[in-house]
């Protein structure tokens, strides 16, 4: 599917739409999806998972198998652009207002350089440092501060307002919220998206403030001086300004305040006395320093932070797509070797699993390990059942659950992990409700086999039949709530 301007969908649109497309295909039989996706995967030259998944969507679009109406991903994409535009508008208005206030000059008192530096330089440095804190990895020492800053982030605030006043579809989809099945990828994406929005607003603020200051300097007759209640003398101010001006001293020496300028431009506000009789023309030497400081400590750092945030946002968007159970299942189907059993109607249930496996190509041997949970299926029937319904051969089988001791389950996990499987099939009783002990087992299994191993929960019906639609729905929802991106449900139906 292509967007309104005829170009390929963006990575964000794919990250939203592809998992939804895969979820909507649950009604298509597993065999049909496997055959189709395996054929698409075999025809692709790309080997990287991200390129393969996006190429799959492109191929589906060429085959006319995708809806042509405006997708949720496209609507969310427009919402992101609206929020970015709002941040630019808010930042620009705020920047103009603040600059006009701190550079206000009515001919009575000079513009106080201390106020300008405090608001448009030192405060910007502090805000940049807080943005850097948000960009740090989630470590225990700063996690609480990062959460507080995230809640106060202007990008998140504007997004929350947008989500409240705009309902994107009948399900009231939120821009920064996705199903828990996507795990930590959602939080990572939301954090970098908020940082991008906040940097856009900050750039607009600093650019507008700089433009306003330049316009006031160019088209009005501003006079500058410095005054503070702190016990600072001219030498102290000279050291501070020289420190701030260090980045541009060799490039723009006129933007470094001299000692005579600092000495002559100090003034004191006295309630009953007029300002010192100093020529305004003699006090204009401060403006190059102020503009250079605003550019160096306000606008430039924000541009750098935006560049970094955009790079990290793209990586986070890629993980948002790939760290989805439905996408993981798609990649497994696209890379699955073909298992030729002859006629699709051949009956293999009466033949031993070992004899069936012996007829398979050598490349399919050891394709998956298996866990039989609580006696969901007889072990001797498992190889044939898996070949028939999942087209996966079984290389290693353990049994767990069903009243076994915890130590026995741990031993089964260790034995299974020692085989370093690429896929683990966990066969469960489809007619029974999922229990917490199974979830604990799956979490321990994940820790043992690592994130690169796909764990597939396979509900089995009574008498080794396929699970019915109600059972599949219950187990799919339960698996999705676990929040493991490499864990998904497949029934073989």
Query: Cβ(206)–Cβ(300) under 8 Å?
Result: no
Q: What pLDDT does 137 receive?
A: 79
Query: In sequence order, which residues have a C-beta less than 8 Å from that of residue 423 and are 6 or more positions away?
Result: 332, 367, 368, 369, 392, 453, 454, 455, 456
φ, ψ for residue 309, nearest 5 deg: -65, -40
Between CA 459 and CA 379 the distance in angstroms is 15
466 forms beta bridges with: 460
Query: Cβ(229)–Cβ(115) under 8 Å?
Result: no
Between CA 136 and CA 139 the distance in angstroms is 8
DSSP letter string, 373-424: ETTSS-GGGHHHHHHHHT---EEEEEEE-SS--HHHHHHHHHHHHTT--SEE
**pTM for this entry:** 0.81
Report residue 451 as tokens. 């994130």
**How many angstroms separate the Cα of 476 from the Cα of each of 399, 413, 422, 480?**
22, 23, 21, 6
- With both helix axes pointing from N to C terminus, report the angle between 11-24 and 300-322 in degrees, rounded to the nearest 10: 20
**Tokens 């946002």 map to which residue?**
313
**How many angstroms separate the Cα of 12 from the Cα of each of 46, 219, 331?**
20, 45, 19
Report residue 59 as tokens. 């191929």
Going from the first residue of the chain to its last (493 residues), give the mean pLDDT of each consecutive group of 10, the final group possibly shorter: 56 92 85 90 87 92 77 86 91 96 86 93 93 79 69 66 54 56 77 90 96 94 86 88 94 91 78 50 83 96 96 94 91 79 41 41 59 92 90 91 89 92 93 90 94 93 89 89 88 81
Q: What share of the chain is helix, strand, coil (3-state, %, to 5)?
A: 60, 10, 30
Q: What pLDDT does 1 receive?
A: 42
Query: Cβ(19)–Cβ(78) under 8 Å?
Result: no
Q: What pLDDT does 354 receive?
A: 42
Q: How many CB atoms lie within 10 A of CB 8?
A: 14
Q: What pLDDT does 352 receive?
A: 41
Reduce the DSSP state of residue 429 to 3 states and report it.
strand
Cα end-to-end span (Å), the chain: 27
Q: What pLDDT does 356 receive?
A: 38
Q: Domains, the chain, ranges and CATH?
A: 74-322 (no CATH), 353-489 (3.40.50)
Reduce the DSSP state of residue 306 to 3 states and report it.
helix
Query: In sequence order, which residues have a C-beta less than 8 Å from that of residue 419 and are 6 or more positions away?
Result: 369, 395, 396
Q: What pLDDT does 124 receive?
A: 94
Chain segment 105-142, per-residue pLDDT in tens: 887 788 999 999 999 999 999 999 988 888 887 766 67
Q: What pLDDT does 340 receive?
A: 54
Q: What pLDDT does 351 receive?
A: 42
Q: What pLDDT does 182 receive?
A: 65
């Amino acid at each position: 599917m292509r967007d309104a301007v005829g170009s390929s969908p963006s990575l964000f649109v794919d990250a939203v739409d592809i998992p939804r497309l895969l979820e909507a295909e649950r009604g298509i039989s597993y065999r049909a999806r496997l055959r189709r996706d395996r054929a698409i995967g075999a025809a692709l030259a790309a080997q990287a998972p991200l390129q393969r998944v996006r190429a799959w969507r492109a191929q589906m679009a060429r085959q006319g198998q995708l809806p042509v109406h405006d997708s949720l991903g496209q609507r969310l994409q427009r919402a992101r652009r609206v929020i970015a535009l709002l941040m630019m508008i808010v930042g620009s208005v705020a920047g103009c207002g603040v600059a006009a206030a701190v550079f206000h000059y009515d001919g009575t008192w000079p513009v106080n350089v201390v106020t300008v530096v405090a608001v448009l330089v030192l405060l910007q440095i502090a805000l940049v440092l807080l943005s850097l804190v948000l960009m740090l990895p989630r470590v225990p020492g700063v996690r609480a501060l990062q959460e507080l800053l995230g809640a106060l982030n202007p990008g998140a605030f504007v997004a929350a307002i947008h989500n409240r006043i705009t309902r994107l579809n009948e399900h009231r989809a939120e821009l920064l919220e996705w199903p828990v099945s996507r795990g930590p990828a959602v939080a990572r994406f939301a954090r970098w998206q908020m940082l991008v929005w906040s940097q856009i607003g900050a750039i607009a603020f600093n650019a507008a403030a700089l433009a306003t200051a330049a316009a006031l300097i160019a088209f009005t007759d501003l006079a500058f001086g410095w005054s503070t209640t702190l016990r600072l003398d001219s030498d102290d101010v000279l050291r501070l300004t020289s420190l701030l001006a260090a980045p541009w001293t060799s490039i723009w020496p006129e933007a470094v305040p001299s000692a005579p300028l600092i000495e002559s431009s100090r003034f004191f506000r006295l309630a009953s006395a007029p300002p010192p009789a100093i020529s305004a023309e003699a006090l204009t030497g401060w403006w190059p320093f102020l503009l250079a400081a605003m550019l160096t400590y306000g606008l430039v750092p924000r541009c750098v932070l935006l560049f970094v945030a955009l790079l990290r946002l793209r990586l986070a968007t890629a993980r948002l797509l790939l760290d989805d159970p439905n996408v993981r299942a798609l990649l497994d189907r696209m890379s699955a070797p073909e298992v030729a059993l002859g006629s699709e109607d051949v009956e293999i249930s009466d033949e031993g699993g070992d004899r069936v496996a012996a007829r398979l190509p050598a490349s399919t041997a050891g394709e998956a390990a298996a866990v039989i949970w609580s006696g969901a299926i007889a072990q001797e029937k498992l190889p044939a059942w898996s070949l028939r319904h999942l087209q996966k051969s079984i290389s290693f089988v353990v049994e767990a659950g069903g009243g076994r001791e915890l130590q026995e389950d741990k031993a089964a996990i260790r034995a299974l992990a020692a085989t370093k499987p690429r896929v683990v099939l966990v066969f469960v009783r489809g007619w029974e409700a999922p229990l917490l002990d199974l979830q604990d087992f799956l979490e321990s299994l994940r820790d043992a086999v690592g994130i690169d191993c796909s764990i597939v929960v396979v509900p089995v019906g009574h008498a080794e039949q396929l699970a019915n639609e109600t059972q599949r729905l219950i187990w799919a929802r339960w698996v999705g709530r676990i929040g493991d991106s490499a864990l998904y449900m497949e029934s073989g139906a």
